[in-house]
Chain A
Amino acid sequence: MRGDAPVVLEARGITKRFPGVLANEQVSLTLQHGEVLALLGENGAGKTTLMNILYGLYQQDAGEVLVRGKPVRMRGPSAAIRHGIGMVHQHFMLVPVFTVAENIILGAETSRGPLLDMAAARRHIHELSQRHNLAVDPDALVKDLSVGQQQRVEIIKALYRNATILILDEPTAVLTPQETDELFVIIRSLTAQGVSVIFITHKLREVLALADRIVVLRRGRVVGETRPREASERSLAEMMVGRSVILQVEKQTAHPGATVLALEQLSLNDDRGQQVVNALTLDVRAGEVLGLAGVQGNGQTELVEAITGLRPVRAGRVLIDGQDYTGAAPRRISESGCAHVPEDRQEDGLVLGYSVADNLVLNTYYVAPFAHGIVRDGQAVLHHAEQLVAQYDVRTPNVTTSVAALSGGNQQKVIIARELSREVRLLIAAQPTRGIDVGSIEFIHQQIIAARDRGTAVLLVSAELDEIMALADRIAVIYHGRIVATLPATSASREQLGLLMAGAQPEHL
């Protein structure tokens, strides 16, 4: 494509070791002027580590980085910024309580005398957003912005520092399909002005749509390089995982039974007291997977918390099997047969300092056989753990290992095992496969479908539209705390869902 364009950034033989993990092994790649280089790999393949090395956040153990042909020692992000490298992290590096302008100038402030010169900063930001067609309000607080807008702030932040090499780490993870398209337009206009872009992702479709060149990383090593027109989703998936991958989850048609979970006119506030769920009505039936699609922050988190008893209900009712559980204690709801896979597994789903065995009884430690009266039965807990570890394929040295030592995929399997190993009528799964490896994703998807086939009602909340489309029998789209549409999965298209997620009225589709 641009085979003759000069190389602006090169990594040679980068090796990076963390305790117990070889994150990058002899990784080499080049970035040419004005191209989009896609760095493809599954979660944990070492993409982010490599980029953090290029950006000076980590120091490599071996190998070298060259900027425009000259070897450079990146001692820190300042060095990278000085060499014209900018990075937009997967988890935005913005201070929520600061304004847009404060976030952008942070670390590159202009002062007049001892005091900050905010007027000059505002002028410069305005100019940049005009030139690159990136509209932002410099005086808005970042916490009040949508994810898409925050991403724009991040890009301006890099441009404010005169970045000519831009690293985007999983930039589409939280965007709707349409926002993703808009981002692609922005990226293209940046490359047209001479910016070179490294685009990190594990989404095959996007790679094919945007990239000029593709480098695939697996277990810390470069396993291949290709171009979009020479590759297909299937060939890329195989390269990424190292075996053939089933792109579709195999499942039979659902046989939905009676309604298990019914939400009636539910209204909820968030932690700041703002109403985030607005007279929402929804039901999930036995033996079906209802996928709740929506852009992050439209009330999904609060909704799940309210169903599981973790958040007070302002108005409306939560019914499980026809019984009113509105405002009931989390334990009562759990005992009614409601399983919950929380979206933040390390913070809410597990006690990281506890063993695998104790984590497997985190919500059943007080019942027989794990306790008699108030006395715990350690043997029963261990025995239970041995069984589940085998049944759910949890890779751990033994059941007394601290769960913190497990990989993300195995941690998630511990939660799935705990939640599905008891009598369950209803499964609430929030982001069940976020950030884990493909093998674990496949396993967890199978478990969810198996639960459905046993007659469990499943409410699946996911930011990954692909996951929703793969697993759900019906799809409900949430926007600003309301269900804007509920469609059968077979008839829903990505584009349609994307528009609904962005607030389009269903009758206009």
Chain B
Amino acid sequence: MERAKPPKVDLWGRGRALLRAALIPTTAVLIALLIGALIIALSGANPLIAYSALFEGGLGSTRAFARTLEKATPLIFGGLAVALAFKGGLFNIGAQGQLLLGAIFAAYIGFAFQGLPPVLHSALALLVGALLGALWAAIAGLLKAFTGAHEVITTIMLNFVAFNLTDWLADGPWKDRAPGNIVARTPKVAAAAALPNLGGIPLGMILAALVALAVWWLIWRTTSGFELRTVGQSPSAARYAGIPVRQITVLAMVTSGFLAGLGGAVETLGVVGRFQPGFNAGLGFNAITVALLARTNPLAVIPAALLIGAMQAGASRMQFSSGVASEIIDVIQALILFFVAADSIIHGVLRIKPDDGEHVALSSGWGA
């Protein structure tokens, strides 16, 4: 019988593992782009022109890249939220609603309290935003843990509720009463609450990268992360091992909502400067694409979010210079999601064997 050698830091092996891990997502993106080009061509435009405009608009200049970072930041938070829940066997389609709640409450703290010291003010606004996101997700977590109501339906429904709720807040009690304003939106946040740029990089992006590191550490290096993964892999084995499954389920949902809420707060304080209904619609679904493209690895969420962010940043440029509707981006994203999810296709195309690692099953009935 073979004995395992004491593990050494094997850089070569790790590099190869990294390449291998990136192979499937990269291929998925390439195939999706190819099919996207086909669709563009079929609708009578030149895909090369469209894609080069897309590239220009996303990465072609410093300004373009800044826009990409701007778009990617909330996607990192959303992607992390979805990825973390996923590890715990939960599918959080509600990042959208949690983000809306986080955004509007961060805006409220931002405009309602004038005269706080800068660092404190923005930190408070971020925290309150994140907590509101956590609270919103807690509803779905509790429903799942105690009634068995599947989070996919409850979080979607909560998205609609959050949409109505924030719409009311922004059009009612927290409406910008500045003369001349007729649209639903909150006042601008105080300068002390806004997130600055550090050395040309938006603080929000730096924060996002740090949070990604923290989430990775939490999942892979702590006992809580072990509990989370165990519940995700096999709730019954977790129960038998003495892990309080309901508690972990609620906690996973709360943490996921915290991340999404933080994303909303960062977006509000760093980019928009106030809350406006309808901003960042579709982020919840994009976050799912990011998380699955990153194969739920928190660190890989960053490049995945940058990619999707770049596509979003370049979409308007593409529409302007090639006439291809910017919604093609949504089609390509859905295709990416399809090819990442149906990785057996790519295994077939590349003739590689699937790796047998940890797999989370989401669709074992409707809970209970």
CB–CB A310/B226 < 8 A: no
Given contacts A310-B240, A351-B233, A351-B237, A404 and B3 within 8 Å (CB-CB) = no
CB–CB B4/A398 < 8 A: yes
A211 to B1, CA, bound (A): 40
CB–CB A334/B242 < 8 A: yes
Selecting from B94-102, B194-202, B217-225, the interface stretch reads: B217-225
Given contacts A347-B234, A351-B230, A376 and B221 within 8 Å (CB-CB) = yes
- Specify the chain B residue showing the minimal Cβ separation from A371: B223
Task: For chain B, give the interface size range.
Answer: 20 to 34
CB interface residues, A 370-407, toward B, < 8 Å: 371, 374-376, 382, 386, 390, 395-400, 402, 404-405
CB–CB A350/B237 < 8 A: yes
Whether a CB of chain B sits under 8 angstroms from the CB of A354 is yes
A395 to B1, CA, bound (A): 7
CB–CB A374/B233 < 8 A: no
Contact with A along B226-238 (1 / 0, CB 8 A): 1000100110111
- Specify the chain A residue showing the minimal Cβ separation from B222: A374
CB–CB A366/B359 < 8 A: no
- Specify the chain B residue showing the minimal Cβ separation from A358: B226
Q: With a CB–CB cut-off of 8 A, which chain A residues contact B357?
A: 353, 402
A371 to B222, CA, bound (A): 8
Which single member of A349, A350, A353, A398 contacts B2 (CB below 8 Å)? A398
Given contacts A376-B221, A376-B226, A354 and B233 within 8 Å (CB-CB) = yes
- Specify the chain A residue showing the minimal Cβ separation from B237: A351
Q: With a CB–CB cut-off of 8 A, which chain B residues contact A331?
A: 242-244
CB–CB B240/A365 < 8 A: no
Q: With a CB–CB cut-off of 8 A, which chain B residues contact A248?
A: none
Which single member of A329, A347, A351, A374 contacts B223 (CB below 8 Å)? A374
Whether a CB of chain B sits under 8 angstroms from the CB of A136 is no
Which single member of A347, A353, A390, A398 contacts B358 (CB below 8 Å)? A353
CB–CB B244/A382 < 8 A: no
Q: With a CB–CB cut-off of 8 A, which chain B residues contact A382?
A: 4, 7
Whether a CB of chain A sits under 8 angstroms from the CB of B63 is no
Q: With a CB–CB cut-off of 8 A, which chain B residues contact A329?
A: 242, 244
A323 to B133, CA, bound (A): 44
CB–CB B240/A348 < 8 A: yes
Q: Which of B1, B222, B242, B356 has the most CB of A within 10 A?
A: B242
Given contacts A347-B236, A399-B4, A362 and B241 within 8 Å (CB-CB) = yes
A334 to B234, CA, bound (A): 19
- Specify the chain B residue showing the minimal Cβ separation from A348: B240
Least CB distance from A395 to B in Å reads 6
Given contacts A371-B223, A404-B356, A351 and B4 within 8 Å (CB-CB) = no
Given contacts A351-B230, A382-B7, A400-B4, A366 and B223 within 8 Å (CB-CB) = yes
Whether a CB of chain A sits under 8 angstroms from the CB of B20 is no
- Specify the chain A residue showing the minimal Cβ separation from B1: A395
Least CB distance from B244 to A in Å reads 7
CB interface residues, B 1-15, toward A, < 8 Å: 1-4, 7
Main secondary structure of the interface of A (DSSP, over half): loop
Q: With a CB–CB cut-off of 8 A, which chain A residues contact B237?
A: 347-351, 362
A353 to B231, CA, bound (A): 12
A352 to B230, CA, bound (A): 10
Q: With a CB–CB cut-off of 8 A, which chain B residues contact A374?
A: 222-224
- Specify the chain B residue showing the minimal Cβ separation from A335: B242
A302 to B264, CA, bound (A): 47
Given contacts A342-B240, A347-B234, A348-B237, A375 and B1 within 8 Å (CB-CB) = no
Contact with B along A315-330 (1 / 0, CB 8 A): 0000000000000011
Least CB distance from A1 to B in Å reads 46
Whether a CB of chain B sits under 8 angstroms from the CB of A363 is yes
Least CB distance from A372 to B in Å reads 10
- Specify the chain A residue showing the minimal Cβ separation from B230: A351
Q: With a CB–CB cut-off of 8 A, which chain A residues contact B242?
A: 329-331, 334, 363
CB–CB B3/A375 < 8 A: no
A330 to B244, CA, bound (A): 9
CB–CB B226/A365 < 8 A: yes
Whether a CB of chain B sits under 8 angstroms from the CB of A482 is no
Q: With a CB–CB cut-off of 8 A, which chain B residues contact A396?
A: 1
Least CB distance from A327 to B in Å reads 14
Least CB distance from B226 to A in Å reads 5
Q: With a CB–CB cut-off of 8 A, which chain B residues contact A399?
A: 4
Least CB distance from B231 to A in Å reads 10
Q: With a CB–CB cut-off of 8 A, which chain A residues contact B241?
A: 330, 362-363
CB–CB B7/A348 < 8 A: no
A371 to B359, CA, bound (A): 25
A310 to B226, CA, bound (A): 21
Which single member of B3, B239, B358 contacts A386 (CB below 8 Å)? B3
Q: With a CB–CB cut-off of 8 A, which chain A residues contact B234?
A: 347, 350-353
Least CB distance from A36 to B in Å reads 40
A342 to B357, CA, bound (A): 24
A366 to B224, CA, bound (A): 9
Whether a CB of chain B sits under 8 angstroms from the CB of A221 is no
A84 to B230, CA, bound (A): 47
A44 to B356, CA, bound (A): 23
A310 to B237, CA, bound (A): 11
Whether a CB of chain B sits under 8 angstroms from the CB of A152 is no
Query: What 9 pairs across the A-B complex have the smallest Cβ distances?
Result: A331-B242, A398-B4, A353-B358, A330-B242, A363-B241, A362-B241, A348-B240, A374-B222, A366-B223
A-B contacts besides A331-B242, A376-B223, 10 pairs, CB < 8 Å: A330-B241, A347-B234, A348-B239, A350-B234, A351-B234, A352-B234, A354-B358, A375-B222, A375-B223, A398-B4
A-B contact pairs, 20 of them (CB 8 A): A310-B240, A329-B244, A330-B240, A347-B234, A350-B237, A351-B233, A351-B238, A353-B234, A353-B357, A353-B359, A354-B233, A358-B226, A362-B241, A363-B242, A374-B222, A374-B223, A374-B224, A375-B222, A376-B225, A398-B3
**Which A residues contact B (CB, under 8 angstroms)?**
308, 310, 329-331, 334, 340, 342, 347-354, 358, 362-363, 365-366, 371, 374-376, 382, 386, 390, 395-400, 402, 404-405
